[in-house]
Amino acid sequence: MGSTYERKQRNTAAPCPARWRERLAAALAVLCFAAPAAAGDLERKQARRIHDRLTGVPPTAAVLSAMEDRIVAGDAVGAALLAIDPASNPRASSFYNVTLKNFATPWTNEAQSVFDPLNDYSATVIGMIRDEVPFNTLLSADLVYVGAGGLSGVSAYSPASNAHYEDLEARNIDLSDPANLVADSQSLRNGIPAAGVAGVMTTRAAAQAFFIDGTNRAMFRFTVLNHLCNDLEQLKDTTRPADRIRQDVSRSPGGDSRIYLNSCIGCHAGMDPMTQAFAYHDWDKTQGRMVYTPGQVRPKYLINADNFEYGYVTTDDRWDNYWRAGQNAVLGWSASLPGGGNGAASLGEELANSQAFAACQARKAYRTVCLNEPDQARLDTLVGVLTGQNYNMKQVFAVAATQCMGN
Ligand code: HEC
């Protein structure tokens, strides 16, 4: 459609013809009702804001004009995509090196700090979004993004060190360039059987943060917190069967079984049978890397057996999702998955194909570019984009940026 026609439409503040709405993203509808002082003025401001929000830096004059043209032509999402396309925008790299790095970094450490260095977890998130890898494989894919071989001043990738990623960051390597940051097989690079790999959950950074010490429940808690946007406190359900709660959880803490029944069960009944998926995973402090011992349950699953000797004894990595029933059914578990399995990857699929996961990613993307919380309509739009376009997070970022481009 011609931009002349659209300019006229906008200036007379005519409502959107129905066929436009069919073809354009919902966020664009805002445009059609706007009546700017002068054609192009508003679009230029919008283009600048989209660029600023996505990349954190102002656009070049040429990119600003190209984005403006797209907005005038009714394609605000196209303008946003242009801003984060390194082939079209010399400043697109800031979206990958800065915006997405800050987006992912809090998920990679227990303190949820944004200031941690680049690591295999954050780099993999950046690569997946850049390459439009379906984001519902985030917690299951046999994938890790690494720096290309031969980058000057960058030490070799190692499953026992983060130096490679710190070098990529210190050298300001352009992560938007597919020649610099490349997809690789996590199992091959780390010498771990494919059955022991589960997307970002089995990256070195995640293992160091969440398999360290403890009982591996932290991996479950933080994955749910970061990727389903729910802390366990919100998910407590004391009505679930308690048959898989491990021995280390006292059934009468402080001598009072009511506390167990009213509190402890709420989390542990659902969490323990899912955390069993990581029964063979551990963080080895001496080696400084994740270890995986197929068939051999880690000692941490069997500690403090005396707390309740009739508790559940873990013998394998079989997990089951007791939260498919009860109040946590609202998380929207996928009807096409069985709700149980062996190992971390199938648990990752279970989590990442829930509606809560999709809504969480959409919400986080919106927060990142719009700097506040989405209302329900905007959130619904973004979830629709994510699930309707093969979990393409790049598209979600682009649409989110148009939702707060101003009018
Ligand atoms: C709000 C959810 C929740 C409730 C309620 C809860 N727990 Fe836990 N529990 C956790 C999480 C999460 C972990 C893992 C902590 C970590 O490693 O960060 C954990 C870990 C544990 C551990 C292992 C020790 C450790 O640090 O890993 C024991 C033992 C335990 N809980 C017992 C209990 C008892 C007894 C109660 C009731 C008084 C209880 N829990 C109530 C969530 C909960």
pLDDT score recorded for residue 3: 35
Does the residue 342 lie in any domain?
Answer: no
Does the residue 336 lie in any domain?
Answer: no
Annotate 47-61 with DSSP letters as a single string.
HHHHHHHHHSSPPPH
Residues 127 and 187 grouped into a single domain: yes
pLDDT tens digits for range 286-329? 999 999 999 999 999 999 999 999 999 999 999 999 999 999 99
Residues 192 and 258 grouped into a single domain: no
- The Å distance, Cα 274 to ligand 1 centre, comes to 14
pLDDT tens digits for range 397-406? 999 999 999 9
- The Å distance, Cα 202 to ligand 1 centre, comes to 22
Residues 143 and 176 grouped into a single domain: yes
Average pLDDT over every residue of 356-382:
98
Ligand 1 atom, smallest distance to 233 CA: 1
Q: Domain tally for the chain?
A: 3
Beta pairing partners, 342: 318
- The Å distance, Cα 352 to ligand 1 centre, comes to 23
Does the residue 338 lie in any domain?
Answer: no
Average pLDDT over every residue of 350-354:
98
Residues 242 and 257 grouped into a single domain: yes
Residue count of the chain, please give it.
407
- The Å distance, Cα 314 to ligand 1 centre, comes to 17
Closest CA to ligand 1's atom 27: 214
End-to-end Cα, the chain, rounded Å: 21
Residues 107 and 189 grouped into a single domain: yes
Spatial separation of the C-alpha atoms in residues 267 and 248, rounded to whole Å: 14
Ligand 1 atom, smallest distance to 217 CA: 14
Could you tell me where the beta strands, DSSP code E, fall in 180-288?
Answer: 181-184, 281-284
Residue of 4, 33, 38 whose CA lies nearest to 16: 33
Residues 326 and 224 grouped into a single domain: yes
> Which of 224, 239, 259, 267 has most ligand 1 atoms within 8 Å of its beta carbon, as the pocket-test mutant?
267
Closest CA to ligand 1's atom 3: 267
pLDDT score recorded for residue 258: 95
Ligand 1 atom, smallest distance to 307 CA: 29
**Degrees, nearest 5: CA angle 230-235-240:** 150
Closest CA to ligand 1's atom 25: 214
pLDDT score recorded for residue 42: 96
Task: Supply 155's token pair.
Answer: 């030490």
The overall average pLDDT reported for the chain is 92
Residues 232 and 320 grouped into a single domain: yes
Does the residue 75 lie in any domain?
Answer: yes
Closest CA to ligand 1's atom 18: 218
Residues 269 and 229 grouped into a single domain: yes
The separation between CA 257 and the C-alpha centre of its own chain, rounded to angstroms, equals: 38
pLDDT tens digits for range 110-167? 999 999 999 999 999 999 999 999 999 999 999 999 999 999 999 999 999 999 999 9
Residues 281 and 227 grouped into a single domain: yes
Does the residue 33 lie in any domain?
Answer: yes
Average pLDDT over every residue of 176-202:
98
Which of 196, 228, 243 is the C-terminal boundary of a domain? 196
- The Å distance, Cα 317 to ligand 1 centre, comes to 20
Spatial separation of the C-alpha atoms in residues 186 and 190, rounded to whole Å: 6
Does 109 have pLDDT greater than 60?
Answer: yes
Ligand 1 atom, smallest distance to 263 CA: 5
- The Å distance, Cα 404 to ligand 1 centre, comes to 40
> Which of 213, 252, 258, 264 has most ligand 1 atoms within 8 Å of its beta carbon, as the pocket-test mutant?
264
Helix, strand and coil content of the chain, in percent to the nearest 5, comes to 55, 5, 40
Does the residue 206 lie in any domain?
Answer: no
Residues 73 and 106 grouped into a single domain: no
Residues 282 and 248 grouped into a single domain: yes
Closest CA to ligand 1's atom 42: 267
- The Å distance, Cα 58 to ligand 1 centre, comes to 47
**Site residues for ligand 1, CB cut-off 6 Å:** 214-215, 217-218, 221, 232-233, 236, 248-250, 253, 259-260, 263-264, 266-268
3-class DSSP state of 1? coil
Does the residue 153 lie in any domain?
Answer: yes
Closest CA to ligand 1's atom 24: 214
Closest CA to ligand 1's atom 39: 264
Q: For residue 167, give its domain range.
A: 96-196
Residue of 355, 375, 354 whose CA lies nearest to 366: 375
Residues 75 and 104 grouped into a single domain: no
- The Å distance, Cα 33 to ligand 1 centre, comes to 53
Confidence of residue 27 (pLDDT cuts 50, 70, 90): very low
pTM of the model: 0.91
- The Å distance, Cα 243 to ligand 1 centre, comes to 16
Does the residue 372 lie in any domain?
Answer: yes
Does 189 have pLDDT greater than 70?
Answer: yes
Confidence of residue 40 (pLDDT cuts 50, 70, 90): confident
Residue of 295, 274, 265 whose CA lies nearest to 223: 274
- The Å distance, Cα 359 to ligand 1 centre, comes to 27
pLDDT score recorded for residue 257: 94
Which of 330, 350, 384 is the C-terminal boundary of a domain? 330
